[in-house]
Structure 1
Amino acid sequence: MGASRRSSGLFAVKDHERLVADTKASEEGGLKRAVGALDLTALGVGAVIGTGIFVIIGEGIGMAGPSVVLSFILAAVTCVFSALCYAELASSIPVSGSAYTYAYATLGELVAWIIGWDLILEYGVSVAGVAVAWGGNLNAFLDSTFGFALPEAIANPPEEGGKFNLPAVAIVAAVAFLLVRGVRETAKANFIMVFIKLAILAFFIIVAFATAFSTDNLSPFAPSGFDGMVNAAALIFFAYIGFDAVSTGAEEAREPKRDLPIAIIGSLALCTVVYILVSIAAVGSLPADQLKGSEAPLAKVLDEGAGITWAASLLAFGALIAITSVMITILYGQTRILFAMARDGLMPRGIARVSPRTGTPARLTIGLAFFIGALAAFVPLKEITELVNIGTLFAFLLVNIGVVVLRVTHPDMERPFKVPLANLPVPLFPIIGSILIVYLMTRLPGTTWWRFGIWLALGFAIYFFYGRNHSLLQRAKRS
């Protein structure tokens, strides 16, 4: 089949069949197909369950009181529409690159470049920010368990009095080393970490329900009314981000058309159940006034509600494990997105070379680790991490739109998984998903929008000066 049905100009589309064919003929070498549905589901859970559930629930309770339970459900419903769209596109176009690749197949090269550029920011800043959080949790664990902490100069980010954040750099290097070794080894390590953090959260749920839960703590259920619940849901939404990283592993899945939808939807469903049970256990074990704004609400429940004095150590350890698995999945996702962009010629193709020994883009992974490590060690991250939120929502929006476009441009293409009610004249789920995402984007602060605009303007400049001239699709049309 030809390059695309719209084959000219900045919005040239790379046909889904060509996308799949190019992965097999790539001179950079192919990624190793070595993971199944369970491994991919664990990657999704690893990316979603991080410090959010250990910390953000305290902020949510401050906004919504016990009705934060409904906030978790509302946030999950918002994510479900996008998750279903990711599942449909991932099964139909089983190629590395996630939203970047889907945009290339539906909305054209320029939009694909912009979403790829957006994902570079989202994933890169996210990994750096998570690395900084890992360093902070390491100190909390050392302090609560052994009674000492690392010196401030080497343990804190620059905005908190540090000079060089050594723990953050160390964990970035360790995760990069694991990723370079191979996707199978990465999946095994992540699976163990996911099991540990789920076991710690299960321990919290069981102990809280068995020793401290009282329905009296659930009243008043919604002290701030519906607005408080919705505002908490908008905050909590970002505790669900990460399931989309599963789709970046399309070329390393043994049966991508079957495994990717299972992993995307399965990881979101599992995380939702865990979040709801944790939130019910928390608000039912201590009054909301005692939990709101707490930096360690789960530890507080076990300490003050259940009388477990070593709770802080357990939860700090759980947070360390949770953050590490988040870093593994997000850095993995970023390397695969850049790999896809480089293979298409929009980035220097040399960085997409696959190691014949490990079957991974080792050169790209090591280069990214140096960049992210430097960001985590020296750069104040507090404000630019807000860009992760808008970047994620932007990617979700284009994936929802991409499902609608493909239904029009390729109505007869094979779709191993379809969003529910797919045969309606109007694709209802992607439209609902788009509306919900736009609503959440309008709630972001203005500073986030103009910083995002500057980043996109830089991306446009790089595309017009480099990407357009080196794009394999554009070169094929010119020859």
Structure 2
Amino acid sequence: MSGKSSQGTLGLPAVWAIAVGGMVGGGIFSTLGVVISSAGHWAALSFILGGLIAYATGHSLAALTVEKDEAGGIYSFLRDLGRPRLARSAAWVLLAGYVLTCAVYAYTFGAYLGHALGGPAWLPQAMAAFAILVMTAINLRGAGQAAGVEIAIVIAKLAILAALAAFGLSQFDVERLSIPAQPGWLGIVIGAASVFMAYEGFELIAYDYEEMKDRKALMGRIMPLAIGSAALIYVLVCLAVPMLTGTRAIIENGEVALSQAGQAALGTPGLIAVTIAAALSTGSAINATLFSSARLAETVSGDGALPEALGKRNASGAPQGAVLTLAALALALAVLGGLDALVQGASVVFLLVFGILNALALKESVGRRIVTLPGAIGAFAALVVLILHLVGVI
């Protein structure tokens, strides 16, 4: 163990906001149609299945982080086990995943604002670039500013999503969840795997471990709280939105399905409210991902596995080189990439990483085996199903 004193500045609200902000980002706004088209009226079960794998992975991550007592997540775990090449490979893959997710969040931000404003065809791309630029500026101001913004954004967006869910569930009719050809159990797994990036985000706090107050106690407490919060809102929204728009509209217009639900519920005020929630949600997800993944890049750079420039901090204490590099790559993908490819690529990356994390916890005999073993099996099984689905085998 490192034996470092716990003198960080991030308390429970800030760490919870970073984790939830990282999870409840573009996923629920841009990929709800993907889950429903794959799983039909069992779409909520897909989110629950994904949440269980995420919970197991969060348990493994917390146990490994507390055992090692250092920041860095899977990278530092593999490095300390004497596997430097595998550690570097894992870090590069993970950083690629974070660039993809930032691009998804920015793409979704642009799609919702473009839909609400009804501007020219280039407006969504311009709004996507704007979101990344603003959150980059916030991150360059330092950890305290980014964390404070994160708390406010997460509370606001969850309040709007909860209100939308309550309105939809007040009109609940199970028949509205159905689609013409209901898929079987395989559709549930495909639905969970295809949008697994919706649960990416909780692992970001491992990179901020040394900036937490009373970090060992906080690391163990935060995982079920943050992952449970995300899973709950996903399930409620998944059940509520079809009550307002019908499942066909969600499948056909998945990129802005929640905007249509808000408009169906309250007209123009509902459209505006959901657009604000989407902007806050995706914006905070970009913020949280840049905030923490830049610190991963800084750690890897310090070990000589990435260019030294990525580890340089500015006057505010932010890893400027890493923030600017990750943001620039995400901006390019958000403007030029397609949403489906970005989502599926990110899901493959994080299922692989989460499976490895659970396997590491098993190997190191940390955490509860009754949790880590099903987590490893579930993540790798979902990864195989997703790859087979993407290549057209199933």
RMSD (CA atoms): 3.0
How far apart, CA to CA, are the structure 2 residues paired with 1:71 and 1:177?
Answer: 36
Post-superposition Cα deviations, 1:74-97, rounded to whole Å, max 9, x if no partner, equal 221122211110111122234332
How far apart, CA to CA, are the structure 1 residues paired with 2:335 and 2:251?
Answer: 31
SS in 1 for 2:34: helix
Post-superposition Cα deviations, 1:138-179, rounded to whole Å, max 9, x if no partner, equal 212322xxxxx1x434x35xxxxxxxx443333222212111
8 A contact 1:179–1:186 mirrored in 2: yes
Residues 235 and 363 (structure 1), Cα distance of their counterparts in 2 relative to 1, 3 Å cut? closer
State the shift of 1:44 in Å: 0.8
User: Which of 422, 440, 456 lines up with 2:382 in the alignment?
Assistant: 440
How far apart, CA to CA, are the structure 1 residues paired with 2:7 and 2:324?
Answer: 18
Residues 114 and 298 (structure 1), Cα distance of their counterparts in 2 relative to 1, 3 Å cut? same
Task: Give TM-score scaled by structure 1 length.
Answer: 0.73
Larger radius of gyration: 1
How far apart, CA to CA, are the structure 2 residues paired with 1:287 and 1:152?
Answer: 27
1:72 has 2:47 as partner: yes
Give runs of aligned pairs for residues 75-474 of structure 1, distance below 5 A: 75-106=50-81, 108-143=83-118, 149=119, 151-153=120-122, 155=123, 165-210=125-170, 212-217=171-176, 223-284=182-243, 287-289=246-248, 291-295=250-254, 296-304=256-264, 306=265, 308-355=267-314, 357-377=315-335, 383=341, 386-407=344-365, 419=367, 422=368, 427-445=369-387
Task: Give TM-score scaled by structure 2 length.
Answer: 0.88
8 A contact 1:96–1:336 mirrored in 2: no
Residues 235 and 128 (structure 1), Cα distance of their counterparts in 2 relative to 1, 3 Å cut? closer
State the shift of 1:376 in Å: 4.0
Residues 169 and 282 (structure 1), Cα distance of their counterparts in 2 relative to 1, 3 Å cut? closer
Whichever structure has more helix as a proportion of its residues is 2
State the shift of 1:222 in Å: 9.2
- 1:343 is aligned with what amino acid? G
1:461 is matched with none
How far apart, CA to CA, are the structure 2 residues paired with 1:383 and 1:109?
Answer: 30
8 A contact 2:190–2:389 mirrored in 1: no
Residues 293 and 231 (structure 1), Cα distance of their counterparts in 2 relative to 1, 3 Å cut? farther
8 A contact 2:207–2:295 mirrored in 1: yes
How far apart, CA to CA, are the structure 2 residues paired with 1:348 and 1:93?
Answer: 25
How far apart, CA to CA, are the structure 2 residues paired with 1:58 and 1:382?
Answer: 11
State the shift of 1:39 in Å: 0.6
Residues 180 and 303 (structure 1), Cα distance of their counterparts in 2 relative to 1, 3 Å cut? closer
8 A contact 2:23–2:285 mirrored in 1: yes
State the shift of 1:72 in Å: 1.8
- Gaps in structure 1 of 5+ consecutive residues: 1-16, 25-30, 144-148, 157-164, 408-417, 450-479
Residues 243 and 221 (structure 1), Cα distance of their counterparts in 2 relative to 1, 3 Å cut? farther
Residues 55 and 135 (structure 1), Cα distance of their counterparts in 2 relative to 1, 3 Å cut? closer
8 A contact 1:81–1:429 mirrored in 2: yes
State the shift of 1:236 in Å: 4.0
- Gaps in structure 2 of 5+ consecutive residues: none
- 2:110 is aligned with what amino acid? G
8 A contact 1:217–1:285 mirrored in 2: no
Residues 280 and 124 (structure 1), Cα distance of their counterparts in 2 relative to 1, 3 Å cut? closer
How far apart, CA to CA, are the structure 2 residues paired with 1:428 and 1:237?
Answer: 22
Residues 272 and 380 (structure 1), Cα distance of their counterparts in 2 relative to 1, 3 Å cut? closer
- 1:152 is aligned with what amino acid? A
